Amino acid sequence: MNKKLIVLDLDGTTLKENQTISLRTKSALKSARSLGHEVMIATGRPYRLSSFYYSELELTTPIVNFNGAVLHHPLNPNYLDAYHESIDLSIVKDILDYSSTLPLANIAAEVQDSVFLERSDNTVPETFHLGVNNVVIGNIRQTINTNATSLLFFGKIEELDLMSKHLDEELADVISHHTWGASWPAVEIVKHGIHKAVGIQRAAKSLQIDAKDIIAFGDEANDLQMLDYAGTGVAMGNAIPAAKNVADAVTLSNEDDGIAIYLEENLLKK
């Protein structure tokens, strides 16, 4: 069997709803690595909110953060394929100008592991305040002074639909965006053409693994390009319909050890 690269989304995929990785999943990933396969994370989270899981899984691979805007190697500061693709500050301010016309619940800008928040309240996930040494609260249009890794706009669905429509009509050639669901509906924006598959492609090349030998697990809209790019895209049982449609296979949910079961049946069986 060719060496495989197993790519893991975190939320809704590798992580259970209580933000833990099950023992069965950890065991299956460890067994895969013992057979010579590689395991890496590709997440929308910044590194500060994914480093714990990187360490818990004892990974030694590059990691994709911010949905592909950042690729780096936590164990190798001289990793030659690392990159950080950010949104130009002038575009950031143009988007913030438009957002001021909408009654949004909150706005966040992230610059690597620094966070700019319009308001410090419960309108954003509490994780925005975790693991951060530099949090700036206040009017982001005035406080941000550098290119942004990502922008997030939180609000009601109708407000976010207006934001998405504006982005598609006015800025489609310079930014990419997708929506969040769950408890904090949001539109997330990164540089044009950036998604998880961009980072995975570069990481796989550095690991000398072909796309056909990538097994990627995901569940949400920000996983679509990754699931499509991988030789084997696997959607979780709890995945959105679009993810299941683009995937090559569907496993059980994140609560039911879907990753472990797929690997046990397709990669680890004797």
- Position 132 pLDDT exceeds 90: no
| Predicted pLDDT at 133 | 65
Mean pLDDT score of the chain: 92
Average pLDDT of the residues in 148-164: 93
- Write a three-state SS string for the chain: CCCCEEEECHHHHHCCCCCCCCHHHHHHHHHHHHCCCEEEEECCCCHHHCHHHHHHCCCCCCEEEHHHCEEECCCCCCCCCCEECCECHHHHHHHHHHHCCCCCCEEEEEECCEEEECCCCCCCCHHHHCCCCCEEECCHHHHCCCCECEEEEECCHHHHHHHHHHHHHHCCCCEEEEEECCCCCEEEEEECCCCHHHHHHHHHHHCCCCHHHEEEEECCHHHHHHHHHCCEEEECCCCCHHHHHHCCEECCCHHHCHHHHHHHHHCCCC
The answer to which of 26-30, 100-104, 113-117, 187-191 has the lowest mean pLDDT is: 113-117
pLDDT tens for each residue of 253-270 = 999 999 999 999 999 985
| Predicted pLDDT at 135 | 82
The catalytic residues are 9
- Position 251 pLDDT exceeds 70: yes
| Predicted pLDDT at 25 | 98
pLDDT tens for each residue of 179-238 = 776 667 889 999 999 999 999 999 999 999 999 999 999 999 899 999 999 999 999 999
Average pLDDT of the residues in 128-152: 84
- Work out the percent of the chain whose per-residue pLDDT is above 90: 80
| Predicted pLDDT at 179 | 79
- φ/ψ of 179, rounded to 5, equals -105, 150
Average pLDDT of the residues in 34-62: 95
Average pLDDT of the residues in 121-138: 73
| Predicted pLDDT at 182 | 62
Average pLDDT of the residues in 129-144: 80
- Reported as half-sphere exposure (CB side, CA atoms, 13 A), residue 174 has a value of 14
pTM for this prediction: 0.91
